[in-house]
Structure 1
Amino acid sequence: MTELLSNYLVGRWQAGTGAGTALFDPVLGTELVRVDATGLDLSAGFDFAREQGGTALRALTYRERAALLGAALKVLQANRDAYYEIATANSGTVKNDSAVDIDGGLFTLGTYARMGDALGERRFMLDGDMARLGKDPLFQSQHVLTSTRGVALFINAFNFPAWGLWEKAAPALLSGVPVIIKPATATAWLTQRMVRDVVDAGIFPPGALSVVCGSSAGLMDQLQPFDVVSFTGSAETAAVIRSHPAVVQRSVRVNIEADSLNSALLLPGEAAGSPAFELLVKEVAREMTVKSGQKCTAIRRVFVPEALYASVAEALSARLAKTTVGNPRNDTVRMGALVSRSQLAAVRDGLAHLTAQAEILHDGSRHALVDADAALACCVGPTLLGTRDASGSDGADRIHDTEVFGPVATLLPYRDIAHALALVRRGQGSLVTSLYGSDAAALASAALELADSHGRVHVISPDVGALQTGHGNVMPQSLHGGPGRAGGGEELGGLRALNFYHRRSAVQASTDVLAHLRTPSAA
């Protein structure tokens, strides 16, 4: 029988008492490890994290916590090769795609280590300036941010087992809040291994960092009023979390990142083959194929002027046709597998749903697999759909309502910029949209028009074509999240991420008392 991964709870490694759920290689179909959380004393685990981990973390300054993040980063960097091997086996990703997850997570962790060091020897943050409460300046108000005295529960998605861990854990731990991670079962191996390496190195206080693999049953039941929960995944599961008594009755703070119909928009005035045109084509193809399109930020809808519809379709199809699909262990392969058989079935079902209202411009099923058995591997080629009825007057509404979480995007034409902006908003709130063009004023105007319905607006003009960080790459300095169907949550954004793990309070006192709060030596 394969290895049963242990959980880390109450300051010790514990195996579940059940047979466990098997994790598989999505290309070879072989069983890798098993995960199980049956029989764990979750109540004791949460209490231990709050009382032991939280107390120890809050006793440290931001700079001291940042040093712990830096020490964890060194441990992870030393074991980086092992993480790549796990990603290849469990996620079916090629090396470059594994880097997006693994190196992206390490970069985020390092970024917060540096940010925390800059906060210095303090244990709380000031929020704004003092404000007079009357004519006499003697009595004033000062808002402060102090660490919440609870635990942070992270329920993560399958597509980013490394980055999804550290983009949440880094700001939480820096804030002085202990974390309990529940990774998605299908790819829990990488998350568990990273936590194991850091825990075994003895870097964080006992109870500061815990991981529960397997079923999430009972986790939400443990949450108390000052705890927080952050979830990444489907809108259906998000609705269950929001309706849980912990949230509804105990006011547990919740952050949601749900599915999102992200878009790319080529502004009017560009010609076929222009620099902006080529940048759009290159970025859309990349977003469709990186991690086999299994990214919450991937481009799903592509909007272009009506006159360029055929040209973009041809250029995109030609680029996608060069994508080799199959076993990520083969150096000639550029796109690996979907994460599981269930995900493969979901993508096929989603394609059938969309093709009822759209035509296939590039057929991913025609890609021959390299070093992989088509009957066994969870591989599917990149598929570009298209419809000339972008508004949906002839029944193309599914394009704006359904996300296929795989290497699939739909090309859509627009009449003018007002029509284009209206179509982008049909996504009902997204994590990110990207704009392509060469007119700076037009790009700025469009960015502001779409900012209210997107967590991030990524503007790509020819002058930054070689510098831009990528439509789908989530940088720790910028906000990650989005309104509406994207979940309404906010993560990262530099030090803004710390707000979720702090409580804001107004201290009303004499200027002499408040002056003590504002001194660098304040506790």
Structure 2
Amino acid sequence: MTELLPNHVAGRWQGGSGAGTPLFDPVLGTELVRVDATGLDLPAAFAFAREQGGHALRALSYRQRAGLLGAIVKVLQANRDAYYEIATANSGTVKNDSAVDIDGAIFTLGQYAKWGDALGDVRALRDGDAARLGKEPVFQSQHLQVPTQGVALFINAFNFPSWGLWEKAAPALLSGVPVIVKPATATAWLTQRMVRDVVDAGVLPAGALSVVCGSSAGLMDALQPFDVVSFTGSAETAALIRSHPAVAERSVRVNIEADSLNSALLLPGAAAGSEAFNLLVREVVREMTVKSGQKCTAIRRILVPAEVYDAAAEAIGAKLMGVTVGNPRNESVRMGSLVSRAQLNAVSEGLEALSAQTTVLYDGRNTPLIDAEPAVAACIGPVLLGARDADAAQRVHDVEVFGPVATLLPYRDLAHGIALAHRGQGSLVTSLYGSDDAALAQAALAVASSHGRVHVITPEVAQAHTGHGNVMPMSMHGGPGRAGGGSELGGLRALDFYHRRSAVQASPGVLAHLGL
């Protein structure tokens, strides 16, 4: 039997009491390790994190906790090669895609270490200026933010086992809140290994960082009123979390990132072959193929003026034709596999659901795989769909296929294109392409209400923009409506989720001693 990865809870490594769930290499089909959380005393684990980890973290200033993040960065950098090997084996990603997950996480931690250091040696944050409560300034109200005296539970998705942990943990730990992470089972190995390295390095107080691998049963039950939970995954699971007594009755704060049918919109006037047109084509192909399309921020709907629909289909298809698919260990492979055969089946089912209202413009499913057996590997080539009647193709606006799949849709005029972008019912990101600054600015304002992030690409930023699907720690990550209504990152705004706001009403002398 393969190794059973231990969990780290209550300040020590503990194995589950069951046989464990196997994790597989999605290309070779071989069993790698097993995970199991059966028999863990979760209430005791949460209590230890709250009392031991939380107390130790809150005893430190923001600057000191920023130093802890910097120490984590050094641990992760020292073990970076091992993380790449695990990502290749367990997630089936090529090196560049592993970098998005692993190096993106390290970069995010480094940013919060820098921002936290600038907050200084304080233990609470000023929230605005003091306000008079009467005619004379002898009695005032000062709003402040203090760390919540609970634990942060992360229930994460399978596609980013590294970044998904650290983009949440960085602001949580900086805030003084201990973390318990439950990674998605299919790709839990990388998360578990990173936590193991950090814990074994002794850079964090006991109880500050815990990991539970295996079933999530009982995790929500262990939450108390001052805890917070952050979930990334399906809308169905998000609904269960929102209805759980911890949230509905004990008022546990919850952040949700769910389904997202992100769009890319080419503004009118961008002719086929223009620089803006070419930038759209390049970004669509990149978003369809990075991590095999398994990104919450990937482009799913491509909105173009009706007059360039055929040219866009041809240009995108031509670039997709050059995408090699197969074993990520082969240097000639550009796109690896999905994370599992189960995910491959889900993508196939999603394509079937869309087929009734779309046509196939480019079909990479028959592309020969490199160094991979089709009957074993969870590989699929990119598929570009199209629907000439964008209004009638309702499923395209409702069904997200979480893989290398996107649909091309024509619009009549800009108002129609913007309306189609809103048909996603709330998305994490949309990207706009054009060369008219004023028109792009107005379009950005028009779509902002239903998108957490608006990424505007003009020829001037062709080499400088960070990418439609890349989530940078400086910008907000989240979206309204079906995207979950959550908000992460956005610089120090991320600390809001882990703090409680309070108003202290007192004399100026008392307020001066708050240490803000």
Alignment TM-score > 0.5, same fold: yes
TM-score, scaled relative to structure 1: 0.98
Q: Compute the RMSD of aligned alpha carbons.
A: 0.6
Amino acid at match of 1:445: Q
Amino acid at match of 1:440: D
1:60-111 CA distances to partner (integer Å, 9 max, x unpaired)? 0000000011011101000000000000000000000000000000000111
Alignment of structure 1 residues 343-354 onto 2, 5 Å: 343-354=343-354
Taking the aligned partners of 1:43 and 1:480, their CA distance within structure 2 comes to 31
Amino acid at match of 1:122: V
- Answer yes or no: is 1:369 the counterpart of 2:369: yes
Secondary structure at the aligned position of 1:128 is classed as coil
- Answer yes or no: is 1:413 the counterpart of 2:423: no
Alignment of structure 1 residues 54-133 onto 2, 5 Å: 54-133=54-133
**Which position in structure 2 is the counterpart of 1:53?**
53
Taking the aligned partners of 2:487 and 2:367, their CA distance within structure 1 comes to 38
**Which position in structure 1 is the counterpart of 2:340?**
340
**Which position in structure 1 is the counterpart of 2:311?**
311
Taking the aligned partners of 1:445 and 1:204, their CA distance within structure 2 comes to 47
How far did residue 444 of structure 1 move? 0.3
Amino acid at match of 1:453: S
Taking the aligned partners of 1:36 and 1:515, their CA distance within structure 2 comes to 51
Taking the aligned partners of 2:138 and 2:458, their CA distance within structure 1 comes to 53
Amino acid at match of 1:389: D
Taking the aligned partners of 1:137 and 1:454, their CA distance within structure 2 comes to 43
**Which position in structure 2 is the counterpart of 1:475?**
472
TM-score, scaled relative to structure 2: 1.00
Taking the aligned partners of 2:270 and 2:138, their CA distance within structure 1 comes to 61
Taking the aligned partners of 1:400 and 1:453, their CA distance within structure 2 comes to 14
**Which position in structure 1 is the counterpart of 2:445?**
448
**Which position in structure 2 is the counterpart of 1:504?**
501
1:29-59 CA distances to partner (integer Å, 9 max, x unpaired)? 0000000000111011000000000000000
Taking the aligned partners of 1:345 and 1:228, their CA distance within structure 2 comes to 34
- Given candidates 418, 423, 426, the residue that maps to 1:426 is 423
Amino acid at match of 1:455: G
- Answer yes or no: is 1:358 the counterpart of 2:355: no
How far did residue 374 of structure 1 move? 0.6
**Which position in structure 1 is the counterpart of 2:272?**
272
**Which position in structure 1 is the counterpart of 2:255?**
255
Taking the aligned partners of 2:194 and 2:347, their CA distance within structure 1 comes to 29
The unaligned stretches of length 5 or more in structure 2 are: none
- Answer yes or no: is 1:515 the counterpart of 2:515: no
**Which position in structure 2 is the counterpart of 1:463?**
460
Taking the aligned partners of 1:19 and 1:303, their CA distance within structure 2 comes to 49
How far did residue 511 of structure 1 move? 1.6
Taking the aligned partners of 1:364 and 1:139, their CA distance within structure 2 comes to 70
Amino acid at match of 2:335: M
- Answer yes or no: is 1:296 the counterpart of 2:296: yes
Q: Percent identity?
A: 77
How far did residue 171 of structure 1 move? 0.3
How far did residue 510 of structure 1 move? 1.1
Taking the aligned partners of 1:374 and 1:41, their CA distance within structure 2 comes to 42
1:345-369 CA distances to partner (integer Å, 9 max, x unpaired)? 0000000000111000000212110
Taking the aligned partners of 2:357 and 2:156, their CA distance within structure 1 comes to 33
Secondary structure at the aligned position of 2:205 is classed as coil
Taking the aligned partners of 1:437 and 1:160, their CA distance within structure 2 comes to 31
**Which position in structure 1 is the counterpart of 2:150?**
150
Taking the aligned partners of 1:225 and 1:374, their CA distance within structure 2 comes to 49
How far did residue 318 of structure 1 move? 0.1
**Which position in structure 2 is the counterpart of 1:492?**
489
Alignment of structure 1 residues 167-182 onto 2, 5 Å: 167-182=167-182
Secondary structure at the aligned position of 1:413 is classed as strand
Taking the aligned partners of 1:103 and 1:224, their CA distance within structure 2 comes to 34
Taking the aligned partners of 1:53 and 1:113, their CA distance within structure 2 comes to 19
**Which position in structure 2 is the counterpart of 1:40?**
40
How far did residue 151 of structure 1 move? 0.3
**Which position in structure 2 is the counterpart of 1:21?**
21
Deviates more, 1:427-436 or 1:358-367: 358-367
Amino acid at match of 1:475: M
**Which position in structure 2 is the counterpart of 1:193?**
193
How far did residue 516 of structure 1 move? 2.5
Taking the aligned partners of 1:415 and 1:133, their CA distance within structure 2 comes to 56
Taking the aligned partners of 1:50 and 1:433, their CA distance within structure 2 comes to 38
Taking the aligned partners of 2:423 and 2:377, their CA distance within structure 1 comes to 35
Amino acid at match of 2:120: G
Taking the aligned partners of 1:53 and 1:359, their CA distance within structure 2 comes to 55
Amino acid at match of 1:433: T
Secondary structure at the aligned position of 2:246 is classed as helix
Taking the aligned partners of 1:445 and 1:316, their CA distance within structure 2 comes to 27
Taking the aligned partners of 1:483 and 1:271, their CA distance within structure 2 comes to 32
Taking the aligned partners of 1:22 and 1:258, their CA distance within structure 2 comes to 26
Secondary structure at the aligned position of 1:18 is classed as coil
**Which position in structure 2 is the counterpart of 1:244?**
244
How far did residue 515 of structure 1 move? 2.4
Taking the aligned partners of 1:365 and 1:145, their CA distance within structure 2 comes to 52
Taking the aligned partners of 2:412 and 2:119, their CA distance within structure 1 comes to 50
Taking the aligned partners of 2:389 and 2:511, their CA distance within structure 1 comes to 62
Taking the aligned partners of 2:272 and 2:308, their CA distance within structure 1 comes to 7
**Which position in structure 1 is the counterpart of 2:213?**
213
Secondary structure at the aligned position of 1:263 is classed as strand
Taking the aligned partners of 1:445 and 1:174, their CA distance within structure 2 comes to 37
Secondary structure at the aligned position of 2:513 is classed as helix
How far did residue 21 of structure 1 move? 0.2
1:286-323 CA distances to partner (integer Å, 9 max, x unpaired)? 00000000000000000000000000000000000000
Deviates more, 1:134-143 or 1:11-20: 134-143
Secondary structure at the aligned position of 2:13 is classed as strand
Taking the aligned partners of 1:481 and 1:71, their CA distance within structure 2 comes to 28
Taking the aligned partners of 1:298 and 1:162, their CA distance within structure 2 comes to 18
Runs of 4+ in 1 over 2 A off after TM superposition: none
Deviates more, 1:495-504 or 1:359-368: 359-368
Taking the aligned partners of 1:3 and 1:515, their CA distance within structure 2 comes to 56
